Structures are given as structure tokens and as C-alpha cells.
Amino acid sequence: MFAAVDRRCVMNHMTQEFTNFLFELNRVKAREGGRSDCQRHREKRLAVDNVHKLQRMEELIGDRRVEDERSLIKTPSDVQANNQEHDSPTFTRQIRSDQHGSPCFIYTLAFFSALGGFLFGYDTGVVSGAMLLLKREMNLSSLWQELLVSITVGAAAVSSLVGGYLNGLYGRRICILLASFIFSAGGIIMSVAQNKEVLLCGRLTVGLGIGIASMTVPVYIAEVSPSQLRGQLVTVNTLFITGGQFIASLVDGAFSYLPHDGWRYMLGLSVVPAVLQFLGFLFLPESPRWLLQKGDTQNARLVLSRIRGGVNVDEEYESIRSSIEEEKIDAGEGPVLWRILTFAPARRALIVGCGLQMFQQLSGINTVMYYSATILQMSGVQNDQMAIWLAAATAFTNFLFTLLGVWLVERVGRRKLTLGSILGTAVSLMVLAAGFLLSAQASPPVTFHPNDPSLHNSTCITYGFCESCMLNPDCGYCYGKNGTGVVESSCMPVYAANTEAAAAGRCSNGTQESAGVFWAYNYCPTSNSWIVLLGLILYLAFFAPGMGPMPWTVNSEIYPLWARSTGNACSAGVNWICNVLVSLTFLHVAQYLTYYGAFFLYSGLALLGFVFVVGCLPETKGLHLEEIESLFGRQLCSCGAGGSQNVHYTRVKGGNYRSDEDVTDDE
Ligand SMILES: O[C@H]1[C@H](O)[C@@H](O)[C@H](O)[C@@H](O)[C@H]1O
């Protein structure tokens, strides 16, 4: 018995010594960015020596606990093996037994939080259907239509940045409550609006809510989730975004049959989930990590124990507490953004987070979604009602494949999922572009020139082919059919208030069906449309499980706590700004480069994104939030590099040990 006690004493002593050594090493590294090569080499050798010491100790003592301690010191191959281990049934069983009570409460928290994602999706998605009715009822010019659509995204960009500050100051819960209150107010304003100015106020208000929700909800879910469920639960938020977009398209379809005031229901229905979220969050707790950061230790422990089902949370609590203590040393002085920019690991995380959000939008998701109705029309769907329902099918496909992402994220990990997704997205964009290219090459000519004096000043009548005619937003193609061929086709100015008809002639309002002619606005009749349709389906299948959710998921986990709100605010801001940029420039890009040029461009940008992800995105699956920050201790663009022999240090009871690789900051 004494021998056993002795063994334990020796082991404890040596482990303590080793822990102290690593702790000191970490501090030296954090403080001295510019150590000499010689010093670094010495530290590396010391670290390796210690690993050997510990191995010998393990052999000598043969104590099972040594193995436990050793598992806290990882080489990259260990990290990899560890990731594979996570998939093994033994590991899963171990996780289950580590699992803190019933996860029911966690699912409730995730559900009420993700309603923020739902509202984000609903309010950005519903406007296209509402606009069809609004532009007739309020006689909206195209400038007003653009304003009503883009003011929401613009307001989201601004409020996501402000949201970072609010999050840090008042906490995640208050911000979610604020966002749902703003959503409700916006929904009410829109549904009772008597004129376009009030409507614009309503759209601006919901935009403010979207921005705050988009950056707060992933952070909140990540902070309350146990590490092995975190990826899945944060991805559920994106599932709710795409779910919101899908429900919005259904609501658009249903109320499109109500030409008078249908838009009020479409825009106003968002109040229901907003109020539900507000009521739910009155009873839900603050993030324990934020509470601890603010020094409210009692409540933090209480909340943590509550969300873990009342089991012992000492270890988790201690790990969060000690990481906050150490962060205070790391974080330095001054405004948070400045501290992020001057602290290499946080700066690297910010570059990765913003880069992912940027490439998500530059891959053209919202253009493809927005353009899906037209793509479907090109494939032969001429009926407008039908096009609305088919757009709902597109939104459903996006939702369905996001569900695949929820299933895959903890199985294959964030890195592989993002890599496969962005590569597939780039290839699908090429297929889309090739479809448009072939359609442009087979573009039917203009064969009929109506002799209407009112058309003499119009540029539309100067075009010789459908392709050039449809690229001008003021013109459309009016044609008749002979079997599968196009006959008697003309390029006509579009009716200003309603792009579904020409301003004059055979394709003007109400005359199309009786005259046996068809009006193609924004597209050309083509037999290559199936390639475009194939590209669209492939695009959604690849984009939705990875590039859709992963930028949000990864951002919620890569920043140290002190930088989390600001980091997420900046990356969400980048997402919204790029969203505005891509949507506003798409028509101009298409005019200069044609549609196939635009999609080839997005494909090139997605390939660039692939290179970025290969080099810079580390795997975060299965790691605790406090461990993830250590992944950014080494040079950026080496995250994907394997085969290095360097040692990774992870937290050992209070020590925040970073990678032993070079910590110079030359991204
Ligand atoms: O992750 C989401 C999702 O992919 C949506 O479908 C898209 O509209 C958003 O812009 C994006 O941030």
C-alpha cells in the first residue's frame, strides 16, 4: 500500500514539475515574440526531454494516471490520431460517460437561440415574393425596390459590428433578447406600413436585428455546448437560416394568390418566431463563460451545472476559469480590436474567420439563390406561379443539404467538410457557367422588328440576338414557337412597373396568351438549360453542407474568450459587407462579363478560397474552446501541413500551453 502511495507521490511531484515547466515556457513565449533561434531550439529540446522523462516515468511507475497526464501532451500525429479516435466507439462511449447529464436542456437552448437564425433566413428570403406584390401595389420604381431589399443587408452589416461591443458589455442573452425585440418591432412596422417610407423603416429595423442575431447566436450556442456536440449545434443555427429561407418561400407562394395586402402577411409573420424567442429567452440563462469573464463566479457555476444536467462540473469550470485568468495576461491593454491585431494567435484567428466569411459570399450563394427562378425559367418553366414554387424547391434543396452538414460536421470534421464543399462549389459554378456559355452561343436571333413609332428611341430594337437583348435590364425578348424552334422574335422595352410584360406590342400586359407569344425577361429560350439546372443542383448540394454553415461554426469557436465577441462581430460584418457587394454588383458584372463570365469569376474566387482553406483552416473538431486558441500559436498557412515533429501543448490543469512551433508572426 505504501508503495502505491509512494508511486503516486513521485508521480504527482514530477507531473507538477512538468506542469510548471510548460507553464513557464508558455509565458516566455507569450511575452517574447522575437526569441533567438538558439533559445527556441533549447526550449524545443527541453520540451522533448520532458516528454521522454515522462515516458520513462510511465514505464517505471506503471501508473495508469501517468497515461492520463500524458494524453494532455500531444504531437501533431497524436492530434490526428486523437481526431480519428473521436470516431471510435470507445471514444464515443467515453464521451457519453463524460457527458454531463441529459442534453435536453442544451437542445432547448440551441432551439430558442437558433430562432435567431430562422429570422435571419426568413427576413432575407421573404422579400423577393413580397416585392412582386409590393411593386404593383405601391408602384415602386426599381430604385425603391433595390433600396427595400438592400437596406436590410446593409443594416445587418452595421449592427453585426456594433453587436460585438454589446455582446462583450451586456452579454449574449441580453443581445439575443434585444435582437428578438427588434425583429418583432420590425415585423409589426412592416405589416402595418401605409407607405413605402414606413416600409423602409421596417426593413431597416429587421436588418438591425439580423446583424445582432447573426453574430451572437453562434457564439452563445458554442459557449453553452459540450465540445462533442458544439459543431452540430452551431450548424443547426445555419440549418435554421436555410429553414427560414425555405418557409419564407412557401409563405411567398401561399400569399402570392392574395394580390391585395398579401405582402403584409408575408412580412408580418416573422413576428411569431421573434416573440417566441423573446419569451423563451426571458427564462433561459446567460452563457457561463461570459459570466465568469465578468467575475460572476457563483452564477457561472450555477448555470454551468444547470446546463450540464446538475452533474459535477468542477473540472470544466476550473478549465474555463484558469483560461480566463491566463487570457488576462495574454490579452494586454487597449481596445479589443487593437489587442486582437497585435496578438499574433488572435490576429491569425481573425484572418481565418474573416477569410471564410468572405469566400462564403464570394462563392455567389445569394446570387445563385436569387437567380434560381430565372435559371428555372430558362429550363422551360414559363409560368410565374410555377417559378415561385420551384424557387421554394431550390430553397428546400439548400435546407436539405444543410441538414447533411449537421450530420457530417462531427463525423468528418470542419476542415475536410469545408475543403470538399468549396471544391465542389467551384466545379458546380463551372458547370453553371458552361451552361450559360452554351446557351449564349446558341442564342436565338431577333427576326421581327415591329413598326411602332413609340419604340424608335429605344435601344432594345438595336439588338440582333436574344443574349445581348436580355443583358440589358430595360429590355426583354418576345417570341413565338414553332415546335421547339423560336420564330418571330423581337427585343422590346420592359414595362417599368412590372417586368413580367413588355411596355408595348404583342408581349404587353394581358395580350401574351391570346397572341401565342412568350415573354422572356432576364433569360433566353435555350435547349442547353438542363446543364444550367444540373449546375444549380450540384451547387446547392456542395455548398449547403460546408461553405454555408462552416464559416459561422468555425468563427464561433476559434477566438479566445476575450476576443470572441469582437472577432465574431468583425467576421459577421465581413459576411454582410461581401453579401451587399456581390448582390449589388451582380447585374453589372453580368452586363460586362455576361452571365457565364460572372459564374466563371465566382468559380475562380471559390478556387482561391479552396487554397486559403487548405493552408489556413485547422481542425477544431472535438477540442474544448479553451484548447482551440492554441491551434493559432503557429504560423498561419501551416495549419494543413502534416508531418511536423513539433509538440503541441494543451491545457494541463490551468496551464495554457501552445504549440512548440515557431510563434513568429509572419502571416
Ligand atoms: O450561411 C448562410 C446560408 O448559406 C444562406 O443560405 C445564405 O443566404 C447566407 O448568406 C449564408 O450566410
Could you give the ipTM of this predicted complex? 0.98
- Ligand 1: atom nearest CA of 242 is 6
Residues near 273 by beta carbon (within 8 Å), at least 6 away in sequence: 115, 118, 119, 122, 183
Q: Is 367 in the pocket of ligand 1 (CB under 6 A)?
A: no
Burial 329-349 (b: 16+ CB within 10 A, else e): ebbeeeebbebbeebbbbbbb
User: Is the CB of residue 120 less than 8 Å from the CB of residue 163?
Assistant: no
In angstroms, rounded to a whole number, what is the distance separating the alpha carbons of residues 511 and 502? 10
Q: Is 235 in the pocket of ligand 1 (CB under 6 A)?
A: no
Pick the range with the lowest mean pLDDT from 47-51, 304-308, 528-532. 47-51
- Give, in degrees to the nearest 5, the angle at Cα 578 between 636 and 165: 75
Distance 255 CA to ligand 1 centre (A): 24
> Is residue 341 scored above 90 in pLDDT?
yes
**Pocket test residue of 217, 360, 367, 577 for ligand 1, highest count of atoms within 8 A of CB:** 360
Residues near 571 by beta carbon (within 8 Å), at least 6 away in sequence: 215, 350, 353, 354, 356, 357, 551, 555
Distance 241 CA to ligand 1 centre (A): 7
Q: Is 243 in the pocket of ligand 1 (CB under 6 A)?
A: no
Nearest CA to ligand 1 atom 4: 548
User: Whose CA is closest to 664, among 37, 7, 8?
Assistant: 37
Element (H, E) at 630: none
- Ligand 1: atom nearest CA of 366 is 8
Q: Which residues pair with 490 in a beta bridge?
A: 478
Distance 415 CA to ligand 1 centre (A): 19
**Over the stretch 80-109, which tens digit does the pLDDT of each residue have?**
444 444 334 333 333 333 444 456 899 999
Predicted pLDDT at 141: 83
Nearest CA to ligand 1 atom 6: 242
Tell me the helix, strand and coil percentages in the chain, rounded to 5: 70, 5, 25
Distance 67 CA to ligand 1 centre (A): 44
Q: Is 421 in the pocket of ligand 1 (CB under 6 A)?
A: no
User: Whose CA is closest to 233, among 390, 410, 429, 5?
Assistant: 410
Burial class (CB in 10 A: 0-12, 13-18, 19+), 360: buried
Higher-pLDDT residue of 27 and 504 is 504
User: Is the CB of residue 65 less than 8 Å from the CB of residue 11?
Assistant: yes
The three cell numbers of residue 24 are 513557464
- Ligand 1: atom nearest CA of 245 is 6
CATH code of the region 339-442+527-633: 1.20.1250.20
The three cell numbers of residue 299 are 452564477
What value does the mean pLDDT of the chain take? Answer: 80
The three cell numbers of residue 465 are 440576338
Pick the range with the lowest mean pLDDT from 348-357, 533-542, 589-598, 636-645. 636-645
Predicted pLDDT at 333: 76
Q: Is 365 in the pocket of ligand 1 (CB under 6 A)?
A: yes
Higher-pLDDT residue of 449 and 403 is 403
In this prediction, residue 278 has a pLDDT band, given cuts at 50, 70 and 90, of very high
- Ligand 1: atom nearest CA of 549 is 1
User: Is the CB of residue 579 less than 8 Å from the CB of residue 366?
Assistant: yes
Distance 358 CA to ligand 1 centre (A): 12
> Is residue 650 scored above 80 in pLDDT?
no
User: Whose CA is closest to 422, among 641, 616, 613?
Assistant: 613
Predicted pLDDT at 235: 96
Alpha helices (runs of H) in 382-528, residue ranges in sequence order? 384-412, 414-441, 466-471, 512-515
Q: Is 572 in the pocket of ligand 1 (CB under 6 A)?
A: no
**Over the stretch 365-416, which tens digit does the pLDDT of each residue have?**
998 887 777 667 666 666 666 767 878 888 999 999 999 999 999 999 999 9
> Is residue 487 scored above 50 in pLDDT?
yes
The three cell numbers of residue 69 are 497526464
In this prediction, residue 66 has a pLDDT band, given cuts at 50, 70 and 90, of very low
In angstroms, rounded to a whole number, what is the distance separating the alpha carbons of residues 21 and 600? 54
Distance 315 CA to ligand 1 centre (A): 37
Q: Which residues pair with 106 in a beta bridge?
A: none
Q: What is the pTM of this model?
A: 0.77
Q: Which CATH fold topology does 101-284 show?
A: Growth Hormone; Chain: A; (1.20.1250)
**Over the stretch 580-592, which tens digit does the pLDDT of each residue have?**
999 888 878 887 8
The three cell numbers of residue 380 are 422551360
**Over the stretch 534-587, which tens digit does the pLDDT of each residue have?**
999 999 999 999 999 999 999 999 999 999 999 999 999 999 999 999 988 887
